[in-house]
Structure 1
Amino acid sequence: MLTKDKTIGFIGTGVMGKSMAKNLYQSGYAINIYTRTKEKANELFELGAAWKSSVAELASSSDVIITMVGYPSDVEEVYFGENGILENAKAGSFVIDMTTSKPSLAKTIYQKAQEKQIHALDAPVSGGDIGAKSGKLSIMVGGDEGAFSELLPLFEVIGENIMLQGEAGAGQYTKMVNQITIATTMIGVCEAIVYAKKAGLNPERVLENISSGAAGSFSLSKLGPRMLAGDFAPGFYIKHFIKDMTIALESAEELGIETPGLSLSLKLYKELAENGEEDSGTQALIKWFEQS
């Protein structure tokens, strides 16, 4: 089992990563930080986290390396190459990619890590900024059971619904299931709010009334109120959701299945992004329905 005398290296301190790293530090782990824009991690440095000037420096000085970056291309950049994680991490160390990325890339990282005697897990999360701040993320894990058991104490600091789903890549496949579910749920929430308004109802009371019934969901109870308040700050960026849905659609095609709900959601979000909303939160989808 992982003990608190181990040093955690964290790469990527965006909307969710910063809160995840903060929770780990406050639980007693020593934290190394590398991020492209150092200023974004100032809050962590004020707490006592250590800055590392490169991926290589962080990897060589950490026992566990967590990555929470933006796109599969970012994952490839930090893991591979002469200055990447796998060339510089110590044998016996652990790497955990918590970015939502391609299942095939997770499998490649696992295979290359094995060659270096490094333990690799793919462990994407769900729960947005709210779950990251509260330490209540859902964590979907792929990889070896031994590595999962070793790192469970760490996962329990940042999440509460933590499951090993299978071998390498299974975590990413599970996250795609999550994103496919959210994609069509968000359409339903937006349509419902617009309908309630058009019917002359008080939408706040309607959401309160239906959230505990069969229609209940995170999107309805957490993002619905943000839609009504006109709060479009990103708990999860539209541009990142487009990335996730694109991966999910490509994966579905590889598996030979049709996903019309996912395809429609991706189309609507792309239209929003083209209209300048790519850095808004996913709840900004309501704008498409209100303006159509």
Structure 2
Amino acid sequence: MKNKIIGVIGTGLMGNPMAKHLLTAGYTVNIHNRTKSKADSLIGMGATWFDTPAALPQKSDIIITMIGFPKDVDECYFGVDGIFQGIKPGAVLIDMTTTKPSLAIRISEQASTVGVDFIDAPVSGGEVGAINGTLSIMIGGEKEVVDTMMPIFEVFGKNRVYQGPAGSGQHTKMCNQITIAGTLIGVCEGLIYGLKAGLDLNNLLQSISKGAAECWSLHILAPKIVNGDYSPGFTVDNFVKDLGIALEEAEAMKLSLPGLALVKQLYLSVQATGNGSSGNQALYLALEKLSNLDQKLTLVN
């Protein structure tokens, strides 16, 4: 596998450390990003820069995309200077962006018409997981092709699970985001309750993070909230995007997910206050504001 040239499109918060892992592991890496300065550190490590998504696949055997929003993924693959304009037969495309399952299926269908394979492999674990190489990877595509790509996935993550045909990885990621959305409400409201009750929040976390409430959000995001740190490991804007996709897919399946709809509305209020670029733990700010409002209303009544 080390003789394969890997192209990485998208070298931002997640893509940059992932590309660094590939370089450190000894792979030859080509890169492209909308903002070239975000790729400077990778170029310094030996990665080769390409000006467009269409130019990169002409010199790459495996192309990994880690971009942003579905419209960006669509443009990257299908645009005038997109991947399908420069792809060569026999290549493997791997989209690790969190995007629409329907878009993953459309990319897969187009890939098959030009003689290439496609895998959707969104991840969970945030910037910390990307930096540490401990991401959880949810994989959709042809099983035989996925098996050949496992050495690549091993560079990025500790938990790599095949889910089924194209689109299955994205559906699994939606389940992940739905679960996180509900969990984060509990984490934030638990901290608010503890604060109002006069508890030491660090002591509180020591207790509840080791019991039945233990979860990733308690270990990683709750301490940030306690310290007033709303820097992004995963932004509010991106989380709102994911929750919107999940609600859209749920509606298509005629599912009612009221908890998910509530969390999205709360996150929209976070965006409205200008905190879209903050970490998704900024949900606490919206819930704290509501809590204070409730307290005032109680006093008035």
For the superposition of Structure 1 and Structure 2, which TM-score range results when normalised by the shorter chain?
A: over 0.9
SS of 2:281's partner is helix
Give the distance between the partners of 1:289 and 1:242, measured in 2 at CA.
16
Structure 2 residue 140 is the aligned partner of structure 1 residue 169: no
CA distance in 2, matches of 1:181, 1:82: 37
Distance, in Å, in 2 between the alignment partners of 1:147 and 1:88 is 21
SS at structure 2 position matched to 1:276: coil
Quick one: which amino acid aligns to residue 219 of structure 2? S
* Cα distance in 1 for residues equivalent to 2:159 and 2:263: 26
User: Which residue pairs with 1:286 in the alignment?
Assistant: 284
| Inter-partner Cα distance in structure 1 for 2:265 and 2:3 | 47
Cα deviations by residue, 1:119-155 (Å, 9 ceiling, x for unpaired): 1000000000110000000000110011101100000
Query: Equivalents in 2 of 1:232, 1:42: separation in Å?
Result: 26
- Aligned partners of 1:28, 1:262: CA distance in 2, in Å? 42
1:71 matched residue in structure 2: 69
Deviation at 1:290, TM superposition (A): 2.2
| Conserved 8 A contact 2:10-2:33 | yes
**Are 1:4 and 2:2 matched, yes or no?**
yes
Specify the alignment match of 1:239 in structure 2. Answer: 237
CA distance in 1, matches of 2:137, 2:171: 12
Structure 1: distance between partners of 2:148 and 2:87: 18
Q: Deviations over 1:210-260 (max 9, x none)?
A: 112110111111000000111111100100000000000010111111111
Q: Which has the larger radius of gyration?
A: 2
- Does residue 194 (structure 1) correspond to residue 187 (structure 2)? The answer is no
3-state secondary structure, aligned to 1:138: strand
Q: What does 1:38-77 align with in structure 2 at a 5 Å threshold?
A: 38-77=36-75
Is the CA contact 2:111–2:118 (under 8 Å) kept in the aligned structure 1? yes
> Under a length normalisation based on structure 2, what TM-score does the superposition of the two structures give?
0.95
The CA distance in 1 between the partners of 2:248 and 2:233, in whole Å, is 25
Instruction: State the one-letter code of the partner of 1:115.
Output: T
* Counterpart selection for 1:261 from 231, 249, 259: 259
Give me the whole-angstrom Cα distance separating, in 1, the residues matched to 2:276 and 2:79: 30
Q: How does 1:1-292 map to 2 (within 5 A)?
A: 3-292=1-290
SS in 2 for 1:55: coil
CA contact (8 A) 2:102 2:167 kept: yes
Three-state SS of the structure 2 residue aligned to 1:10 is strand
Q: CA deviation at 1:286?
A: 1.0
Q: Distance in 1 between matches of 2:72 and 2:80?
A: 15
Note if contact 2:52-2:82 (Cα within 8 Å) is conserved in structure 1.
Answer: no
Kindly indicate whether structure 1 or structure 2 has the higher relative contact order, using CA contacts under 8 Å at least 6 residues apart.
1
> What is the deviation of 1:82?
4.1
Distance 2:149 2:86 in 1: 20
CA distance in 1, matches of 2:84, 2:51: 17
Aligned-partner Cα distance in 2 for 1:203–1:40:
37
Q: How far, CA to CA, are the matches of 1:108 and 1:226 in structure 2?
A: 39
Q: CA offsets per residue over residues 16-72 of structure 1, 9 Å max, x none?
A: 111111111111111111000000111111111111111111111111000011111
Unaligned runs of 5+ in 1: none
CA shift, 1:83, in A, is: 2.4
Q: CA RMSD in A?
A: 0.8
SS in 2 for 1:262: helix
- 1:86 to partner: Cα distance: 1.9
